């Protein structure tokens, strides 16, 4: 008989082999039987950021892994990873303290972007006049200054267990999800960025992420790592990420 898997967040509650415990305020809120299941599980699914560090300290594998959670949430970590791997990305500067911010800003051509350290839609700001920058100096620390690139095309690649299971593409600079259309991951136009993305996800141990690229004047550049969508349009229908993960579990691959 195949053993049951254990999950905290309810995303796999429909999956036959997964026992979902729910996300409680603290570990003592779980029953002794539930804590036993957590101790004996070979992997805990969707532990959420609340319990991720606990399981990592106990050397208990999780899915998604620690890197996926952390890189999805931190622009600073993303920038450092892009730089370390020497992957193409817009020119950026991470600034700590007011002096660094004031010295770095004049080295960027206006307009440029100011980004907060955490991945959130309301932390991206366009600076189209130098005096506007002063208003952001005290808002974020660290603060990321990034060149403003005019994208002619954007692509989103969805990876689960280091395999691309979905690709979406849109023309122009707009990042609205509604404008992205499905494209086959093996499409020849994606070959270059797909190979670079595979290096990124395997080296960074990113097992459940969406990687976005933009195509501008100097070619393709990474624009960010984010949480992948639950469902999206694919060339042959609607793809559901949680159903795909359940299939991996049912087949013994995860």
What residues contact residue 97 under an 8 Å CB cut-off, 6+ apart? Answer: 141
Q: How far apart are CA 6 and CA 67, in angstroms?
A: 20
Q: How far apart are CA 147 and CA 114, in angstroms?
A: 9
Domain extents for the chain? Answer: 5-63, 70-74+151-250, 91-147
What global pTM score does this model have? 0.94
Give the CATH H-level superfamily of domain 70-74+151-250.
Answer: ATP-grasp fold, B domain (3.30.470.20)
pLDDT tens string for the chain (254 positions)? 456 799 999 999 999 999 999 999 999 999 999 999 999 999 999 999 999 999 999 999 999 999 999 999 999 999 999 999 999 999 999 999 999 999 999 999 999 999 999 998 789 999 999 899 999 999 999 999 999 999 999 999 999 999 999 999 998 766 666 789 999 999 999 999 999 999 999 999 999 999 999 999 999 999 999 999 999 999 999 999 999 999 999 999 99
Residue with tokens 């095309």, as numbered in its chain: 153
> Does 70-74+151-250 match 91-147 in CATH topology?
no
What's the confidence (pLDDT) of residue 175?
63
CATH number of 91-147: 3.30.1490.20
Contact 235, 183 (CB under 8 A): yes
């Amino acid at each position: 008989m195949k053993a049951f898997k254990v999950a905290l967040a309810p995303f796999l509650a429909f999956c036959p082999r997964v026992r979902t415990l729910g996300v409680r305020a603290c570990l003592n809120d779980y029953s002794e039987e539930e804590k036993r299941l957590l101790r004996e599980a070979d992997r805990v699914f969707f532990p959420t950021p609340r319990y991720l560090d606990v399981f990592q300290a106990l050397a208990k594998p999780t899915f998604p892994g620690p890197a996926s959670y952390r890189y999805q949430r931190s622009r600073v970590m993303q920038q450092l990873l892009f730089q370390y791997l020497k992957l193409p990305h817009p020119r950026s500067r991470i600034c700590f303290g007011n002096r660094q911010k004031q010295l770095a800003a004049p080295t960027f051509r206006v307009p440029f972007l100011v980004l907060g350290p955490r991945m959130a839609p309301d932390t991206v700001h366009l600076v189209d006049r130098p005096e506007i920058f002063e208003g952001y100096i005290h808002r974020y620390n660290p603060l990321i200054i990034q060149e403003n690139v005019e994208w002619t095309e954007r692509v989103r690649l969805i990876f689960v267990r280091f395999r691309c299971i979905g690709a979406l593409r849109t023309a122009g600079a707009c990042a609205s999800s509604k404008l992205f259309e499905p494209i086959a991951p093996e499409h020849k136009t994606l070959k270059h960025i797909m190979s670079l993305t595979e290096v990124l996800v395997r080296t960074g141990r990113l097992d459940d992420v969406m990687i976005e690229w933009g195509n501008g004047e100097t070619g393709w550049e990474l624009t960010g790592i984010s949480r992948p969508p639950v469902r999206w349009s694919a060339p042959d229908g609607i793809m559901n990420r949680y159903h795909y993960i359940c299939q991996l579990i049912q087949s013994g691959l995860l």
